[in-house]
Amino acid sequence: MKNQRERRTWETAGMLLTLLLGNLLHFVYDWTGQASWAAYISAVNESTWEHMKLLAAPWILWTAVTILIERRADCAAPRAAGLLTGLILIPALFYTYTGICGKSVDVVNVLIFQAAVLAAWLVSRGLQRRGSLSAPLWQVLGILVQLGAAAVFAVWTVNPPELPLFVDPTNGTRGV
């Protein structure tokens, strides 16, 4: 029982850290004078893609900490599933509500981010609690998915595809 309680506490701390860092990372690029290193972990513009990075960067960091410090590689696949859930929800919810309302509202965007983090945590925690995706092959796949996500966010921050997901609606730019 104690082990499950410790895991739940650890995972909850990760969710709260992701919420806190994700909100702060929205501003870090500008706070650092647009430092090149900050571009890889924080939003460089107002595009939906860059807002997805606000979930991915702290989530992947927390997964790495969990695996390395807590020695819990068994979390890699459930956390990858959670990450993908959150990354799908951000654009799905954003484009749905802006399509209906015809405009973007900052407070709703923040609530979408928070909902995506919560959904990611619920998926990850639920899979871990049930022991789903616990085989070593799943863990390797989970690590690869998260490393792949980190790589894609890094590459597409500097060289984004010409898709609406990557366009800053305030000025029409893409990437850094």
Residue type, 152: V
Residue 89 lies in a domain: yes
> 60: domain range?
2-166
151 burial via Cβ count (<10 Å: 0-12, 13-18, 19+):
exposed
Residue 175 lies in a domain: no
**pLDDT interval class at 1 (50, 70, 90):** very low
Q: Tell me: the pLDDT tens digits for 79-112? A: 999 999 999 999 999 999 999 999 989 899 999 9
Give the model's pLDDT for residue 92.
97
Residue whose structure tokens are 């899979």: 127
5 burial via Cβ count (<10 Å: 0-12, 13-18, 19+):
exposed
Using DSSP's 3-state secondary structure scheme, residue 135 falls into coil
Quick one: tokens of 118? 């919560």
Give the model's pLDDT for residue 113.
95
For the chain, how many structural domains are there in total?
1
Q: In sequence order, which residues have a C-beta less than 8 Å from that of residue 33 and are 6 or more positions away? A: none
Give CA–CA dist 117/98, Å, rounded.
20
Under 8 Å between Cβ of 25 and 32: no
Residue whose structure tokens are 């969990």: 66
Residue 110 lies in a domain: yes
Q: Phi first, then psi: give them for residue 134, nearest 5 degrees.
A: -95, -10
pLDDT at 70 > cutoff 70: yes
How far, rounded to the nearest angstrom, does the alpha carbon of residue 94 sit from its chain's CA centroid? 15
Give the model's pLDDT for residue 132.
85
Residue 81 lies in a domain: yes
Residue 119: CB atoms within 10 A of its CB come to 17
Residue 171 lies in a domain: no
Quick one: tokens of 116? 């995506």
Give CA–CA dist 142/105, Å, rounded.
34
Radius of gyration (C-alpha) of the chain in whole angstroms: 16
Residue 174 lies in a domain: no
DSSP structure class, residue 170: T
Residue 32 lies in a domain: yes
